Amino acid sequence: MAAPTKTKADPQSTRDRILDHSVQLASAEGLESLTIGRLATDLGLSKSGLFGHFGSKEELQLATIDLGSEIFARTVIVPALGEPAGAPRLSKLIYNFLDYLEQSTFEGGCFWGSVSAEFDNRPGPIRDSIQQKLGHWLDVLREQAAAAGAEDPEQMTFELHSIVQGANSAYQLFGDPEVFNRARVTLARMLPDG
């Protein structure tokens, strides 16, 4: 019985297919334009069938944030853990971040860039989740800045993150890929190992 039995042993569950599409859509058009009807149409499902996998729209949005965050971690953070702590790992983290933008891992650029501006000012579980997960990324950055001997790790974290996000939004709005190289110039000046 090697052949998949159609439902249970699917290589990718329906829920995963939904979230894969959902995370791309959210990065491109925001978490609010994730409508159940549109997702269902795009994936050839019924609204009620899709809905049943989550139970509410908010659950769908939270699950989407979870996946977006996981993809970010897998693409940017994990591959940097092979580097020694401190300056080398810090550099790798930042340049991975830039690569992830440049390679358009998400249709709409940085997942955080799209989603955090949207829920900045709307208290609730969604904002809380974004705060916590994006905060974790900043924690990782700050730890490595500290290990690299930065005199003010918090300051350095702010600067590095701002430059990368600046490159993202400039690229998204104006479409000039040259901003990534501009960001590299600035980052090389900021990072402890040049």
125 binds DNA (CB under 7 A): no
> At 163, which amino acid appears?
I
For residues 137 and 58, give the distance between their C-alpha atoms in angstroms, rounded to a whole number.
Answer: 23
Crossing angle of helices 87-102 and 178-190, in 10° steps, is: 170
63 binds DNA (CB under 7 A): no
Tokens 């979230």 map to which residue? 19
Residue 57 near residue 36, CB atoms below 8 Å: yes
Residues of this chain, 6-25, that bind DNA according to CB under 7 A: 6-9, 13-15
104 binds, among a second copy, DNA, none (CB under 5 to 8 A by kind): none
Examine residue 36 and tell whether it contacts DNA (CB under 7 A). Answer: yes
Residues that bind a second copy (CB under 8 A): 28-30, 32-33, 107-109, 113-114, 116-118, 120-122, 127, 130-131, 134-135, 154-155, 158-159, 161-163, 165-167, 169-170, 172-174, 179, 182-183, 185-186
**What is the chain's Cα-based Rg?**
19
Residue 44 binds DNA (CB under 7 A): yes
